[in-house]
Structure 1
Amino acid sequence: MGNEIKVPKGFKFYGTHVGIKKKRKDFGLIIADKVCHAAAVFTKNTFCGECIPIGKEHVSNAELQAVVVTSGIANVATGKVGRKNEYRILECLANKLQVEKENILPSSTGLIGPQLPIDLIEDFLKTESIEMKENYEDFAQAILTTDQQMKVRSLKVGDATILGIVKGSGMIEPNMATMLAYVLTDAKIAKEAIYPMLKTAVDQSFNTISIDSDTSTSDTVALLASNHYEVDQTAFQTGLNQLCKDLALAVVKDAEGATKTMFVTVKNAVSQEQAKSAGKSIINSPLVKTALFGNDPNWGRIAMALGKTEGLIFDQNKVTVYYGQYPIFSNSNEEKQNISQILAYIEQNEDIYLTVDLHQGTEQFEVIGCDLSYEYVKINSDYSS
């Protein structure tokens, strides 16, 4: 375990292979030494995984003690059998770990359609010993699907620690969360405060990113507080916001096939919501994304994405578009004298900063996306096999 990653007091982890995937770890657990104050936000995709309604019910009293993740099969579109399978896993874990099943948050991620190999999972849980560890790495590996790497961050707030573990590299256009993210802390957080804190952090982080504009059926971000250390609540919110931003950026950096990350700021908009919508329209455009992959500063595609943003108030004669510090479009004209510098900027950098100034109001918002490469197509055309 890296020295820079700290684990909050009161949490242990487990990850192993139970048979969902061919070889790699596919089953992860987090357990706390006592019932935690907790909150979670979930996908708004109405064709959601069978774990999502159960998770919403279990966290409704702002209490959780454990998290279980099955990876490789999403348990989506599996009907009553899929729902029953989730409960069978929870029953086994409750008996084995001596935890109330209503205090366990279930998550599943992977291929949509197949049923979980429930007999294999149940047999494993009934016959094999589970050794929980303070090291998070087995868990962080067990929840991965097409991810290229583990994504883990931690920071201190006073005496307390916040640890975040996230998976996700495709089917990411979050509307409440992004893929699977688990944030753990030993700070004392009141029940009535924990959901607003999480929601604030998620809106500033996971809800600002997009890889491919597809909202996952399994998105979950959960926060569990083991309540060991007093903290300044404002400082904790600041730390939680930063941790979630770092995790969200890590997801984009690990995006399927991505070679570049694009930071899009839309400024001087009528409202933050309009700025966010315009930014998302840009980073979700396949034409913008493929141009970025090809190092093509095609500002016409930026204009197209702005123009199709529903409800966006702007005057096209006032819009200015910048790549880095260089304007490429202003006063209804292409800034041809900057094209060579902009080409060099895109070719030489992995992080590309695009700014759109609407000159219409005072609000701004930054969103983060990536390019669309041949490798993304290959990964997703081969995924079910």
Structure 2
Amino acid sequence: MTHDHALRANGPLAWPTGFRGYTGHGGLRDAGDDISIVASDRPATSAAVFTRSLFAGPAVLLSRRHAAGRTLRAVTTLAQNANVATGRRGEENAAEVVRRVAEILGIPEGDVLIGSTGVIGRPLPMSTILPHFDRTAERGLAAFTAAPQDVARAMMTTDTRPKTASRTVGQARIVAVAKGVGMLEPDMATMLAYVFTDAEVSPADLDAALRGAVDRTFNCLSVDTDTSTSDTVAVIANGAAGPVDPVLFADALADLCLDLTLQLASDGEGATKLLRVTVGGARDRAQAKRIAKSVVNSPLVKTAVHGADPNWGRVLMAIGKNTDETDIVPGRVTVKFGDIAVYPEEPEAATLAELVDVMRRDEVDIAVSLGVGEGEATVYGCDLTADYVRVNADYTT
């Protein structure tokens, strides 16, 4: 497995063999591209996971049905509008977008996945979207000249930068695009992340690899404890580069998803720091993840990290509020910030000064051992800043 840094040296990151991308302005935002399509020029196998929100949007509901066939070969994304809580009209609009994209590509509608992201409760502006697709249809595949960075940029809402990642396995390449910096507390999937590969992978292996990767990366990410109505993660494999070892492919996919997870966490709305919390010595991985999430999601821990305030007691608070975890005994717990132990031995003044320096870093690591068993989990998040409040207080005004 290798990273594709060389592919960026003389130009933008390239798609795997057989994939092409498109971006354009469909009137969802005032200016800039807000519609994107990525498609394979040949049949493909696919796997996808979606939000479990009770208010999942029409894009998710439609895409779940299409993904069940495991033959997806194209993804279209509408930015700036989630098309959620829009009733029958929203369902019809999502279906019409998929129909238009399928016509442009000359493929079955059931092979198209749709993502929609942005404000909840507003109908899609079909009066500008449909003429956009008419113009795109006239150009046909000649319009598909967008690189992965272009697609990632067109998907953005409050993101400050596009997010892409790539890996190589044997002769095959894996390239991904993602967006999402707020309303991120994943449950089954998170934000929008699409992975494209020219590896030949069986549907069963592809599904297992995706679910394993999501469980240990995207589902370990939290910016603000809020689960989106539109979360979608999908992988499309068209086999153009031939078969690969499924184990090596799964490892590469997990590594790529971790790369995207760290990008998403560090670009959390208003964030200035990446926060990584590892809990070990737990009864099992599930307990470790619950405690780690309790720490990374604590507003008091997040604000202390933002201000480099060595108030390490907030970590104990975040652990201790899990009152159902009766096998956690304070006397067996240890806490570190970086390499600096802060509990159970009370830090001296000099140690606290060192702790301030650790907390001023762009990446802050907190390690907890529960002293219960051998379970371990790492979760990812960010600090909480006044800018997060500003972004979300003024989101629609």
Task: Name the TM tier (shorter chain).
Answer: over 0.9
Q: How do 1:50-129 and structure 2 match up within 5 A? A: 50-128=58-136, 129=139
Q: Distance in 2 between matches of 1:191 and 1:357?
A: 38
Q: Contact conserved, 1:65 with 1:103, CA < 8 A, in 2?
A: yes
Q: Contact conserved, 2:149 with 2:163, CA < 8 A, in 1?
A: no
Q: What letter is aligned with 1:238?
A: D
Which is further off, 338-347 or 205-214? Answer: 338-347
Q: Contact conserved, 1:262 with 1:352, CA < 8 A, in 2?
A: yes
Matched, 1:2 2:16: no
Matched, 1:153 2:153: no
CA distances 1:287-322 after superposition (whole Å, capped 9, x unpaired): 111111111122221111111226433101211111
Q: What letter is aligned with 1:317?
A: G
Identity %: 38
Which is further off, 135-144 or 102-111? Answer: 135-144
Residue ranges of structure 2 left out of the alignment (5+ in a row): 1-6
Matched, 1:201 2:209: no
Q: Distance in 2 between matches of 1:262 and 1:363?
A: 20
Out of 207, 223, 226, the residue aligned to residue 214 of structure 1 is 226
CA change 1:56–1:225 in 2 (3 A) is same
What SS does the aligned partner of 1:63 have? coil
Structure 2 length as normaliser, TM-score?
A: 0.93
1:188 shift after superposition: 0.5
Matched, 1:354 2:375: no
Q: Contact conserved, 1:14 with 1:136, CA < 8 A, in 2?
A: no
Q: Distance in 1 between matches of 2:14 and 2:246?
A: 20
What SS does the aligned partner of 1:218 have? coil
Out of 20, 26, 43, the residue aligned to residue 18 of structure 1 is 26
1:122 shift after superposition: 1.1
Q: Contact conserved, 2:181 with 2:267, CA < 8 A, in 1?
A: yes
CA change 1:134–1:256 in 2 (3 A) is closer
What SS does the aligned partner of 2:247 have? helix
Q: What letter is aligned with 2:378?
A: E
Q: Distance in 2 between matches of 1:311 and 1:40?
A: 33
CA change 1:316–1:77 in 2 (3 A) is same
* CA-atom RMSD in angstroms: 1.4
Q: Contact conserved, 1:76 with 1:217, CA < 8 A, in 2?
A: yes
Q: Distance in 1 between matches of 2:306 and 2:366?
A: 14
Q: Distance in 2 between matches of 1:121 and 1:339?
A: 56
Which is further off, 364-373 or 297-306? Answer: 297-306
Q: Which residue of 1 aligns with 2:53?
A: 45
Matched, 1:273 2:286: yes
Q: Distance in 1 between matches of 2:14 and 2:247?
A: 21
Q: Distance in 1 between matches of 2:262 and 2:46?
A: 24
Residue ranges of structure 1 left out of the alignment (5+ in a row): none
Q: Which residue of 2 aligns with 1:254?
A: 267
Structure 1 length as normaliser, TM-score?
A: 0.96
Q: Contact conserved, 1:264 with 1:279, CA < 8 A, in 2?
A: yes
Matched, 1:339 2:352: yes
User: Whose strand proportion is higher, 1 or 2?
Assistant: 1
1:6 shift after superposition: 4.1
Q: Which residue of 1 aligns with 2:318?
A: 305
Q: Which residue of 1 aligns with 2:333?
A: 319
Q: Contact conserved, 1:328 with 1:336, CA < 8 A, in 2?
A: no
Q: Contact conserved, 1:11 with 1:134, CA < 8 A, in 2?
A: no
Out of 26, 35, 56, the residue aligned to residue 27 of structure 1 is 35
1:134 shift after superposition: 6.0
Which is further off, 128-137 or 241-250? Answer: 128-137
Q: Contact conserved, 1:327 with 1:335, CA < 8 A, in 2?
A: yes
Q: Distance in 1 between matches of 2:307 and 2:118?
A: 30
Q: Contact conserved, 2:266 with 2:381, CA < 8 A, in 1?
A: no
CA distances 1:255-304 after superposition (whole Å, capped 9, x unpaired): 11111111111111111110000000001111111111111122221111
* Count of matched residue pairs: 382
1:335 shift after superposition: 2.4
Matched, 1:372 2:378: no
